[in-house]
Amino acid sequence: MEKIYDLIIIGGGPGGLSAGIYAGRSRLDTLLIEKERAGGQIVTTEDVENYPGAMKDATGPALVDRMVEQAEGFGVKQVIDTVISVNLDNKIKIIKGQKGEYKCKSIIISSGAKPRPMGISGEKEFAGKGISYCATCDAPFFEGFDVYVIGGGDSAVEEAIYISKFARKVTIVHRRDKLRAAKSIQEKAFKNEKIDFMWDTIVEEIKGEGIVEEMILKNKKTGENVVVRANEEDGTFGIFVFIGYIPQTDLFKDVINMDDRGYIITDENMHTNIDGVFAVGDCRVKSLRQVVTACADGAIAATQAEKYIEDNFEE
């Protein structure tokens, strides 16, 4: 007899793992498909201070390992595969991966979103070693240091204001001659004595020995290069990049309702526009993308998936 799972979770970040824990605990026959290592963006975070109840000095990888262990303990099966297509037209959903085909009664999409990178030399090498894409996560680690925020939209300016609570000085580096953020947000930034601005400027390269020590900037109008070096006493400085996110939702375009940025639209119970299909975590429309909110999404979605199966499939 062909295998049909109760639930398949696409993506093994905190939202997907949380969904797996709740689904497995409810005795749903659950499969989690992850294209690489489980954990999503959190595995790149060395310190996790703001997750409730996390042990002191907890790391992202350690937190994910515990989640994986919990999911496995509740019987959740896991497979490493890259999903290449989905068929959501019928009650039994079909997921095609590079390694095989999977069928299920319900699906939770936890495909995540990736910060849009600058695409410059040194960026990959120093991610998590001076370069961050999350102020809520990492701003406290730069207390008393100089910080450079890259970007000029709402997120960049709001996060710069937040970072200024910790940093000695924050410099917003923007490629244009004026901010794109809402006027009310701009006004707060301009009034903040700890925030400076570098206009018409882009980042060319980031250097250092193990941590960020130097950044090369270029003025787009004059062509002049400016070299930013770490204060000798500090030894490093922070670079926070806020030039947008890229939701990992291409598989579901023209199938599931999304906003104009490609984020999946759900209701408060994680339902998409397709019965039996739910979305959680960073891939869906939401106001805060953190581990704690992803886990909450996963718990809700798994509970809703259980209810959907009970209501739509007879034993």
Instruction: Give catalytic residues, as residue numbers.
Output: 134, 137-138
CA distance 80 to 38: 9
Q: How far apart are CA 8 and CA 37, in angstroms?
A: 17
Cα-Cα-Cα-Cα dihedral sign, residues 72, 18, 51, 141? positive
Four-residue CA torsion sign, 283, 309, 94, 24: positive
- Residues present in the chain in total: 315
In this structure, the number of other CB atoms found within 10 A of the CB of residue 261 comes to 12
Q: Which two tokens stand for residue 37?
A: 């290592």
Instruction: Report residue 312 as tokens.
Output: 């739509």
User: Which ranges constitute the DSSP H helices of the chain?
Assistant: 14-25, 60-73, 123-126, 135-138, 154-163, 183-191, 291-312
Q: Tokens 């291409």 sit at which residue?
A: 250
